[in-house]
Structure 1
Amino acid sequence: MSWHPDDAYDAAALSREEAAEVAAPAAVLDELRAAVERAPSAARWARRHGVGPGYLADVLSGRRPPGAKILSALGIDRAFVRGRP
């Protein structure tokens, strides 16, 4: 699965297989929230994955985008999709 930083990506520009693998930011946040809820605590999840608890709180609240460590912990790669010129 890949994360796309913009909800408005052009799915028609992607092949059917690629479009099925692109996750909107809201879906990534849902997955992150579920992962944190399964952990004993948000602070422990953050420590286990090498991120600060304040940064994790900012990501969970939508104030900051998830970085490489959070995406990696979720098994998600960052994707950049070129828009129309």
Structure 2
Amino acid sequence: MSYSIIIEKTEDPNFFGVVVPDILGCTTTGRSIQECIHKAREAIELHLQYLQEEGLSLPPEPKRVYIKIVEEVEEIAEEPTTVTTPTS
């Protein structure tokens, strides 16, 4: 399954925050975009494994993936844009 992630700058300039919007409570942090992506994959796998072990339903796989890399937080407010990539 593929899930979208949101990578945001934090108040600490050494870290980014990561949220998986389709999986409640699935978050992580990283020092670089690449580390965030790697750690998000691990967090998703562990979270889904936990849900399966507890007999809970898995979140549905999103139909689209949205990717937006923003250097400055101000860009988000000024020019909200999204790149859409359909998945099959």
TM-score, scaled to structure 2: 0.30
| TM-score, with structure 1 as normaliser | 0.30
More helix by share: 1
User: Where is the strand percentage greater, Structure 1 or Structure 2?
Assistant: 2
Report 1 or 2 for greater relative contact order, CA contacts < 8 Å, sequence distance ≥ 6.
1
